[in-house]
Chains A and B, each alone.
Chain A
């Protein structure tokens, strides 16, 4: 019905409708923010905002990598575990090798995990779900092995990492700024580079891209490597915030990350999804969690509510998106 009404509206009315349809994810977030400030007076305060901004960083950074993989038509279930492996690797190496080497090695573990998944998916044509599911348990196991199951404290050599986790630039927490920079770079990558365009095209029609002479495998590989690298970044940032490298970091995060990407309108079939909307998805999930904490919803109940809200958000988004096609 709405589809038929739309053309009859005045040009400005139609423009507003189109804008609403186009930015439906943003719209859902705005509604949520307004609702939140009614639910709790504490919501719109600087400390709370800053808190939310910190909490979403690690899921946010992983979401950027996940978006690339999802755009190619794949999925990466290993991100949470890879974050944990990078976290304990970094924390364990700091005392003996110094911060720079430790962080480099942490990032390297992410790249290696991503490269292994990417190779299996692109060269051996295995399903990304299965490959990354395996990597999820392997990386988690490795994290537990190297840390002997215990959190590794960060000593003085890692002080600047701890500072990074706590400090702000003006009012913005430094990790949040880093996340925004990563989203900015991701956005530029997809819009302005050859590889970014190919990654998007692969998810839409891999065969057509291959038959244009484009090396598809290399670009699929790239998506998994970036996802692994960003998972490692997220793990190291969690380490900085917690002050310890823990093998349990990021447990279950892969699902939150996928939810964020999907709430942002990406299609798990590939080809569809934008960086801005993914960021909006991340913030949406963060805000929902925060509201429930402020409204003192018990933890177990939160999980149920979160699941329901994810479905509602996606339906709302599909509802407006679907009308566009009519």
Chain B
């Protein structure tokens, strides 16, 4: 059987840098072919070549065995190849139906027919979304569905999905995988790109591993373990992912949160973190984790409750007060809230403690700042051309390290990290974990919010589970499992102490 689309020896370089080198890759109709690799491995370049955004410099692309060239995304679409981006490319202020039919809107719109067509396309995916609703009112999962329906409106034969579940809650992600399976049944070929390896294992027929622009191997999921796949991706085993922590002396209580609340989000949450301790904050999405840490940091105003740092009441009214009290936050949304992308590493990394790099009259001590930033970059191993490079030019992992550098420089007593490794490749994850351990070893109190269970288990001394705005309980790492979190987060076991959970 000839493949629907096959790439033979495809290469692509940007300037002097090879993004892809002699890559062979093929997708059959009715196959889910997963593409994995660290950030910068060449996944997105390969994806863009398939979808016609880039043209290869070398090699050949064949469709059903005949050589083809896609000079633009439009030509690729014409041949039935569609790309669905990680951040959806929908028009928020148009209706669902208009978005679904966007590529083929007639000059004069017959609304009834269009709504009907959109509804049936969405229903064929097993979803129920009102075609007259505005896209801006939809959830992230619904938007993905609309995006897929839009591709299907064009009779697509090959769908490239780039991290489709990255912004979805686990239950929605599961439904989306259901759609992918249904599309496979219909004979659509699928290229599936994801950092979530458990997903890849559950859905892929074949997995191609890219590293440094070349194909390492193409394997079937039953031929190897998760551990084996990670080794292929990074050349190191899974247990090396979480660096061993030296025996850090756990000290006195540094962060003491009591009865913090905010209407509609957090209803009286209390927790304590000691010096040198890494505490995880788990729970389902929407359980109030991010909202709670934003209250602790003063990013949102609390309606009541107190925050103490080393016994002193510091309940912050704004982030400035929190920073002065020694609290730092690495926010969930790195690009929107963590870093000023269009400014340099240097400017970003001293932002939280500008007093250290300026004179009493407000003039900047540029030479001192240069030395400070050079130190930080060496210490955090930030890879960049130099400290004047814009943060937007860095990889996700290095961007996150710049945000961390800011709090290393601020030298506070508490650091809160909200999804610190989201969208970061495996190699950089390890480095970020090491840095988090460093912060704890310096005697800081560390609070980590994460949806990645392995991350919480591997990183934390203990894990607090949140559910509907309360801290429901605490789990030791040995007792930590997805079932325990879900039941605890939902409050199924409220009466029973945490100890009874590990009897199950």
Listed in ascending order, the chain A residues whose CB lies under 8 Å from chain B are 7, 192-195, 197-198, 200-201, 204-205, 207-215, 271-272
In contact, A214 and B320 (Cβ under 8 angstroms): yes
In contact, B362 and A201 (Cβ under 8 angstroms): no
A81 to chain B, nearest CB (A): 31
Known: A205-B339, A211-B319. A195 touches B347 (CB 8 A): no
13 intermolecular pairs with C-beta atoms under 8 Å apart: A192-B363, A192-B366, A193-B358, A193-B362, A193-B364, A197-B354, A207-B337, A208-B336, A208-B340, A209-B351, A213-B322, A214-B352, A214-B354
* Shortest Cβ distance from A193 into B: residue: B362
Question: When the two chains form the complex, which single residue of B336, B352, B362, B366 contacts A212, counting CB atoms closer than 8 Å?
Answer: B352
Q: A200-B343, A272-B342 are in contact. List 18 more A-B contacts (CB 8 A).
A: A192-B366, A193-B358, A193-B363, A194-B354, A195-B362, A197-B347, A204-B340, A205-B336, A205-B337, A205-B340, A209-B340, A209-B351, A210-B318, A212-B351, A212-B352, A214-B354, A215-B318, A271-B342
Question: When the two chains form the complex, which single residue of A201, A207, A272 contacts B351, counting CB atoms closer than 8 Å?
Answer: A201
B338 within 8 A of A: yes
B480 within 8 A of A: no
A215 to chain B, nearest CB (A): 5
Known: A200-B343, A204-B343. A212 touches B363 (CB 8 A): no
Chain B residues whose C-beta falls within 8 Å of the C-beta of A200 in the assembled complex? 343
State the CA gap A77–B364 with chains docked (Å): 31
In contact, A212 and B323 (Cβ under 8 angstroms): yes
State the CA gap A192–B358 with chains docked (Å): 9
In contact, B15 and A7 (Cβ under 8 angstroms): yes
In contact, B319 and A201 (Cβ under 8 angstroms): no
* Shortest Cβ distance from A201 into B: residue: B340
In contact, A211 and B364 (Cβ under 8 angstroms): no
Chain A residues whose C-beta falls within 8 Å of the C-beta of B337 in the assembled complex? 205, 207-208, 211
Question: When the two chains form the complex, which single residue of A195, A204, A210, A213 contacts B341, counting CB atoms closer than 8 Å?
Answer: A204
A135 to chain B, nearest CB (A): 27
In contact, B331 and A211 (Cβ under 8 angstroms): yes
In contact, B362 and A213 (Cβ under 8 angstroms): no
B329 within 8 A of A: yes
* Shortest Cβ distance from A271 into B: residue: B342
Question: When the two chains form the complex, which single residue of A198, A207, A208, A213 contacts B323, counting CB atoms closer than 8 Å?
Answer: A213
* Shortest Cβ distance from B330 into A: residue: A211
State the CA gap A13–B343 with chains docked (Å): 28
State the CA gap A272–B343 with chains docked (Å): 10
In contact, B364 and A194 (Cβ under 8 angstroms): yes
State the CA gap A194–B352 with chains docked (Å): 12
10 nearest A-B pairs in the assembled complex, by CB-CB distance: A213-B323, A212-B351, A205-B340, A212-B352, A194-B358, A204-B340, A213-B320, A207-B337, A204-B342, A194-B362
Chain A residues whose C-beta falls within 8 Å of the C-beta of B347 in the assembled complex? 197, 201
State the CA gap A12–B99 with chains docked (Å): 49
State the CA gap A215–B321 with chains docked (Å): 9
A4 to chain B, nearest CB (A): 10
